[in-house]
Copies of this chain bind each other. A is one copy, B any other.
Amino acid sequence: MPKLWNDTIASHREAVQEAVLDAAAAVVAERGLTGVTMAEVAQRAGVGRATLYKYFPDVESILTAWHQRQVGDHLRQLTEIWTNTGRLEAVLEAYAFICHEHPPSPGPAASLHRSEHVARGREHLVDFLAGLMTDVRDDVPAKELATYCVHALGAAGAVPSKAAVRRLVAVVLSGLRGEAGR
């Protein structure tokens, strides 16, 4: 098969996948993670159910791919903030607001948040943050500090207000620096 044709197929597959994930995201936004069905996603994505099943065997695999895409988006977002500002505070605050806006949901679908691909996503985040750990306390390895950040900032999903999220970031930063609060 000529290369061009392969490219066309690849980009068509990608377009269908994106449409499916967008449709899944819309259903999740409306009904929560447990409200997603294959029929609904197929209809919203404008593909037949048979086609959908060729791409994804079940709802779980759609949600996993969707979550993976989301984690990737967040990581790109944080990288951009770091590139633009060079400020650790700005990156941590952005991550805290991501956690605040996407708290882990209870119930069966929450198993998503523990699956292996999520663990990998979290590892990427830890590695990324570990690389930003200059100008912090030097009695703790950078990777441990990054692990601390990711867990501690997860508390943003459990605090009641944006002001509380900002206070949390200040507390986490004091921990990182081991200096007097500002």
Contacts and interface: CB of A to CB of B under 8 A. Distances in A.
A172 interface: yes
A148 B172 contact: yes
Interface string A151-174: 111110011000010011011111
Contact of A110 (B106, B114, B150): B114
A149 to B, nearest CB: 9
Contacts of A179: 174, 179-181
B176 A140 contact: no
Given A107-B115, A141-B164, A151-B154, 19 more contacts: A104-B114, A105-B114, A106-B114, A110-B115, A111-B114, A139-B167, A139-B181, A140-B167, A144-B164, A144-B171, A148-B171, A171-B176, A171-B178, A172-B175, A174-B175, A174-B178, A178-B180, A179-B179, A179-B180
Contacts of A152: 148, 151-152, 155, 172, 175
20 contacts: A106-B119, A111-B114, A137-B181, A139-B170, A140-B170, A140-B171, A141-B167, A144-B167, A148-B152, A151-B152, A151-B158, A152-B155, A154-B154, A170-B178, A171-B176, A172-B175, A173-B175, A174-B174, A174-B177, A178-B181
- Chain multiplicity (copies): 2
Nearest to A146: B155
Chain A interface size band reads 35 or more
Contacts of A176: 171, 175
Interface in A120-161: 137, 139-141, 144-145, 147-148, 150-155, 158-159
A2 interface: no
Nearest to A181: B178
Closest 7 CB pairs of A and B: A178-B181, A175-B175, A110-B114, A152-B152, A151-B155, A111-B111, A174-B178
